[in-house]
Structure 1
């Protein structure tokens, strides 16, 4: 949850700086968010395609490429594994 709040705070800070400089954001918020989603999904196309090329099914390829964790990150309220708890956080 701290990561989400830090990201929101950074966005608010950038918005304040834009406002003080009398500059508009480069893209409307919805367009920017859809663009970011496209980037995240695009990053996963090559790993999934590699697994598909090896003969894995689509569902298996998505799981093996670890797409949901990369695109969504650790969701709030999600239970953690012992291995996740032992890993250092950045």
Structure 2
């Protein structure tokens, strides 16, 4: 819950800054969501480059187990793969 509150607070802060500068939000919601996806993908560039600089291999299995869950929100399974998060799966999670 804390992460959601921090995210909301950051959004409110940015909204206040935009209002003080008398500008509107720079992007319609669909474009903003694409930008957020880009941010999630971009966050995985740093660990990938660090791994490459350290001389460790960047394999598809490593990417699936380390990066994909952070981009998609899907928890990794025991075998290192991820299961896609669907609305049905989210409904089941909230019931538990």
CA deviations 1:26-68 (Å, max 9, x no partner) are 2223211211213323555895xx313xxx5xxx7512x3421
Higher RCO (C-alpha 8 Å, min separation 6): 1
| CA distance 1:67–1:21, shift in 2 (3 Å) | same
What are the ranges of 5 or more consecutive residues in structure 2 without an aligned counterpart? Answer: 49-57, 76-92
Structure 2 residue aligned with 1:67: 68
| CA distance 1:21–1:73, shift in 2 (3 Å) | farther
What are the ranges of 5 or more consecutive residues in structure 1 without an aligned counterpart? Answer: 79-90
* 3-state DSSP of counterpart to 1:15: helix
Per-residue deviation, 1:15: 0.7
Structure 2 residue aligned with 1:19: 19
1:9-88 matches, cutoff 5 A: 9-41=9-41, 44=44, 47=48, 50-52=58-60, 56=61, 61-63=63-65, 65-68=66-69, 70-71=70-71, 72=73
- Distance between the aligned counterparts of 2:11 and 2:74, measured in 1? 18
Structure 2 residue aligned with 1:7: 7
TM-score (structure 1 length as normaliser): 0.51
The Cα RMSD (Å) is 3.4
